[in-house]
Amino acid sequence: MTTDRIERVARLNRNRLVCAVAACLMAYVIARLLVRDIAPMPDATDLIHIGQMIAVFCLPVMIVVAFGVWRRHAGLIGVGTCGCIAAGIWVLVA
């Protein structure tokens, strides 16, 4: 392998790693916001459970979308937008 190719592969792997970590963190924060949006009150056990069911379903999908759709970081931006909406709802409800 040429040095140029090795460098390109290393850069690609580094970018992928950073993107994977960012996707995981972003998806986790959104999943938690989702639970809080659905169950704003601490004593609403049923709503908390519904929120958790939806969040556990969405979390892996969000990670795959945020990481997989890489062109111009469309996945990260899309998932981030969902996060902003979730945070906005949380602020409104609060």
Partner 1 sequence: MRETLRTRLGWLHGWLGYVAGLVLTCIFATGSVAVFNMELTRWMQPEVLRAMPAPPTATALDAAARMVALEKAQGVLAFVALPGCRSPTLDVLHYNGHEFVGARLDPTTGALIPARATAGGGLFYNLHHTLYLNAQMGTVIVSIAGIALLVAIVSGVVIHIHALVPDIVMLRLSVARLRAWLDAHLLAGVLFLPFMVMMAYTGVLVKADMTLPGPPFHSMPLRTSSPPRAPMQALTYPPLAPLLAQARASLPGQEPGFILFAPNGVHIFAGDASSAFLTRDHADFRMPDGRALPVNTAASPVARTMQLMRGLHYARFAPPGLRWLYFLSGLCATTVMASGLVLFVMKRRRHAGHRQAHRLADGLNIAVIVGLPVAMLALLWGNRLVPVRLNGRESWETGIFFTVWGLCALHALFHALRGQASWAWRAQLGLAGLLGGSLTILDLLCCPAAFQALPGLHMAVDGMALLAGVTAIYARGRLERP
Q: Is 29 in the site for partner 1 (CB under 8 A)?
A: no
The nearest distance, CB 52 to partner 1, in angstroms, is 4
Applying CB under 8 A, what is the total number of residues that bind partner 1?
Answer: 37
What proportions of the chain, in percent to the nearest 5, are helix, strand and coil?
Answer: 90, 0, 10
Q: Which of 22, 13, 15, 37 is nearest to 77 (CA)?
A: 22
Identified binder of partner 1 from the candidate list 2, 4, 41, 91, rule CB under 8 A: 41
Identified binder of partner 1 from the candidate list 26, 39, 79, 82, rule CB under 8 A: 39
